[in-house]
Structure 1
Amino acid sequence: MDGPVKTGVLTFHRCINYGSYWQARCLLDGLASFGHDAVLLDHASARVDRVEWRCALRPVPGQSGDRAAYRAKTRRFFEAFQALPMSPAFPLDAPHAMERYDTVVVGSDEVWNLSHPWYGRVPLFYGAGLNARRKIAYAASIGHHDTQGGLDGNLSRHLRGFDAISVRDDASASLVGHALGTQIEVVLDPCLAFPPGPEAGNTTGSPYLALYGHGFSPAFAEAVRAWARRRGWPVVSIGYRNEWADRHWIEAGPHEFATFMANAGAVATGFFHGCVFALRHRRPFVCEGSWYRGTKLRCLMRQVGGERHLLGPTPTMHDVATLLDAPLPSHIETRIAALRRSSRRFLRDALHVPAVA
């Protein structure tokens, strides 16, 4: 590069969600590793804020209570947001007010989820109105959106304006590839491609099983509880209330979450980034899919060769013990290392960063 490249990252950077925070943070770190001093594009919308905060204060459908804990969690996220590099704010629905950038990187997260309840079909995430010389998509995802309907013509036209596109799962690659008539590369989520530094704190404390997610089936809950009781470990639920957990840490912020996952003895989750952080720290884990998250979990497990860790509909304690009593298989780390190299290569080439000899 002849000089500094003004780079913006367009993503869901103010969501009260551990995965959303860390994928944004890690993508900034990845860009920094290539010499780009990137900022998050601070799109603002009162409409989005209202629904985001309402969800943050009552994130589990049908569950009431814990409002003070969820409020404390939300405040910790606001504090973490303040430390991230941000562009001057501009209206989500009026992107012409944003500054000019040499490069904008769109992603990761479900930025192309047409069914997202408050960001779905916002043209900006498809490149419409981006004030940038170059547009790149890194690890974008359609999330749980049904691919049968395809992309409409306007969105496909916007995507054709990108200089380089990658996605983080097979379903997204199929939808976007079909719309554009080309093969789309699948890359790692930024939390695995550009993992954060060591988060571990005092690892000499008592072991615990980290529980991340909500809405688990009774069979999954009973199997995980039985395994933890046999081990003599407490089940500690982070970020959400699960009545079958031994302890709860609902108010944990994003940095506390990272430390918590790094120090866990094992992980049980139903969330994509629960699996990602277990993989990041080489922790034994089990996960349960759902209609909302099943697609991206299956894709991630196929990517890393961890299909066995996504349990079926009626798991037993034996199924859980088979996975949590043993370290992660070495082939998973080998697969992640190869994917990390190819993911970094995609972004380096897309940014036109010379390869180091």
Structure 2
Amino acid sequence: MKIGILTSWFVPNYGAFMQAYALQKVISGLRPDDDVLQIAYINKVHYDVYYSLFYAPHRFWLINPRFYKDLCRRLLNWSKREQLKVFLDYFARIPHTKTLNDKSICEEKFDIVVLGSDIIWDYSQQSFGKDEFVFGNHMQVGKVVAYAPSFGTVKADRVPPAYVVDGLQKMGAIAVRDENSARLVKQYTGKDALVVLDPTLLMDANDEKFVKPDIEDYIVVYGSSFTTELINGARAYADSHNLKLVCLDSLDDTFDWCDVNISQERLSPFAWCGYFKHAKAIFTCTYHGLLFGLIFQKRLIFSPTQFILDKASSLIDYLDLRQVLVEMTDFADKADWDWDYSRINAKFAVMREKSMEYLKESLKVNG
């Protein structure tokens, strides 16, 4: 049987890579005799956001000043944009189909297609290019199921495009990553959607060969949006505990308040994970920064933004971590909180069992 996984392919982000890698590994483990392949497709608009010099999402772009400002920025950062293409090689190491476009993806045949995970269903994002395929439309497939996609920033008052509702209605099984996405599925279709774990939380991180960094006694800094209070607190906490602040480049991040800045060309997905695994604490504002802090059972100093809370709130509330992750504002208070991972891991174990059972059942084909 041929099983395809359609997710954030070629997106130059370590979290996006690791969730694709993890879901591939989990499904391959469940179905060792089947041909499990990532669908090597990314919407052209979405691809151009990261890799192209010419990107024109703006209305009447030829006379729109925003287009020319963006073009100048891309020219100035062209070397950085070229460096991102190393992610094309990282993704290519995951078993995948041939590279597909809007035409050839309609011709590729599958027995099952799994949609997810990540915020592939956020149809409000102009940069995603109104991608109808991520809802399972126009594909030659016997059964379409969803595992842990998210609607991201989409709110209940937004009217969905017809292709969103049509795709959801035709799916054989739907499981999403957060409560907001489950509510939207119910609102659009009347169907109940199970809330499951991000696939990175299903893999056994102890089995992976993550690269140990050549630095010790440090706090990982990962993300772009940190409050001044938390930045000052990070610097004071690191100094008082003889720790280094090590910034892992996310969006061309270079912080003068960090002791070490690691650029993306000096990282790989498994080296990135290695920094998380061996850190004393994690200071982040990103979704997968939060997840990998939890995976490696670290002290977490989370700087919440609404964009990330739209995706992470239901997991934060399920783990009873809203006080420390969202409400508390002092760095030292967050870092020195009673991080009882026996309790957190027990909650993960319940969700992990539900998530794996859903995958096993949804991958069955009647007849």
Check whether TM > 0.5: yes
Who is 1:343 aligned against?
A: 355
Contact 2:51 2:85 in 1 (8 A): no
Who is 2:140 aligned against?
A: 131
How large is the Cα RMSD of the aligned pairs? 2.7
In the alignment, the residues of structure 2 paired with residue 205 and residue 321 of structure 1 have an alpha-carbon distance, to the nearest angstrom, of 20
| 2:297 counterpart of 1:282 | yes
Who is 1:13 aligned against?
A: 9
Q: CA deviation at 1:66?
A: 7.9
Deviations 1:169-208 (A, max 9, x none): 0110111111111221000000002344334444895211
| Residue ranges of structure 2 left out of the alignment (5+ in a row) | 54-69
In the alignment, the residues of structure 2 paired with residue 345 and residue 217 of structure 1 have an alpha-carbon distance, to the nearest angstrom, of 40
AA of the residue aligned to 1:123: E
AA of the residue aligned to 1:210: V
Deviations 1:33-88 (A, max 9, x none): 11143111112554432212259xxx9xx99988756644x243232122111112
Q: CA deviation at 1:244?
A: 2.1
Who is 2:281 aligned against?
A: 266
Relative distance call for 1:316 and 1:342 in structure 2 (3 A) is same
In the alignment, the residues of structure 2 paired with residue 31 and residue 213 of structure 1 have an alpha-carbon distance, to the nearest angstrom, of 30
Who is 1:23 aligned against?
A: 19
Q: For 1:90, which of 100, 104, 122 is the aligned residue? A: 100
Deviations 1:68-125 (A, max 9, x none): 56644x243232122111112221366323x111100000011110122322531111
AA of the residue aligned to 1:95: I
In the alignment, the residues of structure 2 paired with residue 349 and residue 95 of structure 1 have an alpha-carbon distance, to the nearest angstrom, of 26
TM-score of the pair, normalised by structure 1: 0.87
Who is 1:308 aligned against?
A: 323
Relative distance call for 1:305 and 1:195 in structure 2 (3 A) is farther
After TM superposition, list the pairs within 5 Å mapping 1:176-195 onto structure 2.
Answer: 176-195=185-204
Q: SS of 1:140's equivalent?
A: coil
AA of the residue aligned to 1:250: S
Q: SS of 1:122's equivalent?
A: coil
Who is 1:40 aligned against?
A: 38
Q: For 1:334, which of 323, 339, 346 is the aligned residue? A: 346
Who is 2:257 aligned against?
A: 244
Who is 2:218 aligned against?
A: 208
Relative distance call for 1:223 and 1:79 in structure 2 (3 A) is same
In the alignment, the residues of structure 1 paired with residue 28 and residue 290 of structure 2 have an alpha-carbon distance, to the nearest angstrom, of 25
Q: Which moved more, 1:158-167 or 1:116-125?
A: 116-125
Deviations 1:294-339 (A, max 9, x none): 2112222123332233233x7224423333xx54432111101111
Relative distance call for 1:212 and 1:63 in structure 2 (3 A) is farther
| 2:131 counterpart of 1:117 | no
In the alignment, the residues of structure 2 paired with residue 272 and residue 71 of structure 1 have an alpha-carbon distance, to the nearest angstrom, of 25
Contact 1:147 1:175 in 2 (8 A): yes
Q: For 1:52, which of 46, 50, 53 is the aligned residue? A: 50
Contact 2:302 2:326 in 1 (8 A): yes
| Residue ranges of structure 1 left out of the alignment (5+ in a row) | none
Relative distance call for 1:280 and 1:134 in structure 2 (3 A) is same
AA of the residue aligned to 1:207: D
- Percent identity over the alignment is 23
Contact 1:208 1:235 in 2 (8 A): yes
Relative distance call for 1:84 and 1:202 in structure 2 (3 A) is closer
| 2:292 counterpart of 1:292 | no
Relative distance call for 1:265 and 1:292 in structure 2 (3 A) is same
Q: SS of 1:311's equivalent?
A: helix
Q: SS of 1:277's equivalent?
A: helix
Q: Which moved more, 1:197-206 or 1:222-231?
A: 197-206
